[in-house]
Amino acid sequence: MTTAIPAELADLLTREKRAFAHLALTLNDGTPQVTPVWFDWDGEHLIVNTARGRVKDNVLRRHPVVAVAISDPHDPYRYLQIKGAVVAEDEADGRAMIDSLSQKYLDKPYPFYRGETRVTYRIKPTRVQTNR
């Protein structure tokens, strides 16, 4: 079992690639939910952001174990699958983080902000699988 991101797939985690992460969560009733999300990578953690009280937020606080699939936008057969655990949750940088993610994906500050409390989650990989 490896937790290292292979060098030949590390570009999938860069801001330039603009790949989406498909975040898999387990709901209260045991059913799965998969949501495409914007993400960032700090070299150690996958970083996602949501609004306080949304499904992602509620599930991540209750059951902080996730799986994420990130495929190359130009070659969907080239992908990373990351299983991991939430190791940090932070409201303090939530607004700044969603603006940063919006710059990555939309080239502008987050245009959908409606005064909600934004929260940033950091996910530490516990297992990395690939398809090259």
Q: What is the pLDDT of residues 19-39, one digit of tens each?
A: 999 999 999 999 999 999 999
What values do phi and psi take at 108, rounded to 5?
-160, 160
Contacts of 49 (CB under 8 A, 6+ apart): 38, 94, 97, 98, 101, 118, 119, 120, 121
pLDDT of residue 1: 60
Judge contact between 110 and 88, C-beta under 8 A.
no
For 102, the token pair is 């919006």
- Biggest CA pair distance of the chain: 42
CB-neighbour burial class of residue 48 (10 A; exposed 0-12, middle 13-18, buried 19+): buried
Q: What is the pLDDT of residues 81-128, one digit of tens each?
A: 999 999 999 999 999 999 999 999 999 999 988 889 999 999 999 999
How many residues does this entry show for the chain?
132
| Domain ranges across the chain | 7-131
Q: What is the CATH number of domain 7-131?
A: 2.30.110.10
